[in-house]
Amino acid sequence: MRTLYLLRVILVSAEALILAGAWLAFLYFGSEFQSLATSLSLNDEVLKYLMLMPTALAVWVINETRVLLQEDKETVRILTDWMDYWKLKAHTWASLGYAVVFAFMSLIPWASKSGIGTGIGLLLFVASIVGQLSLAISVYAARIRIKEIITHVKAP
């Protein structure tokens, strides 16, 4: 049951849709991305820092998920006593996995000499930045919601 739920969390998500969309864009619009990438002219200094943005977002997501599950001792006690805590952990682990995947996707063009000068590099970068932003929004919303629930539970 828990394995099926984790599989559903991984496969039925906005991040999975972004990965599938990137794959389909590569298959059907690869030449358009190539022509777009060759026509782009960005400042090398800006590009260098822009390429590291998805990795920085991944670090933020990893930190926020850690804080989400381990904010303080009383919050941890309340969360671990919750019967659906395992679902929260499944979503957290899926988020961490996607954060790593999108970070690696963004590092591929950065590590290669061509960067986003190729269609594949541009597509990987765009997919990773959109994926990381989606993750960041999801984790931030979960953090707010958990804080609301914990505050409600603590209130007499």
Q: What is the pLDDT of residues 77-115, one digit of tens each?
A: 888 888 888 999 999 999 999 999 999 998 888 887 777
Q: Distances in Å between the alpha carbon of 5 and those of 99, 100, 122, 150?
A: 19, 21, 33, 24
Taking a C-beta distance cutoff of 8 angstroms, is the pair 51, 116 a contact?
Answer: yes
Has residue 23 got a pLDDT over 90? yes
pLDDT at residue 156, as a whole number: 63
Task: Say whether 90 sits in a helix, a strand or coil.
Answer: helix
Q: How many domains does the chain have?
A: 1
Which residue segment(s) compose the domain that 90 sits in?
2-154
- pLDDT tens digits for 52-87? 899 999 999 999 999 888 877 888 888 888 888 899
Has residue 8 got a pLDDT over 80? yes
Mean of per-residue pLDDT scores for the chain: 88
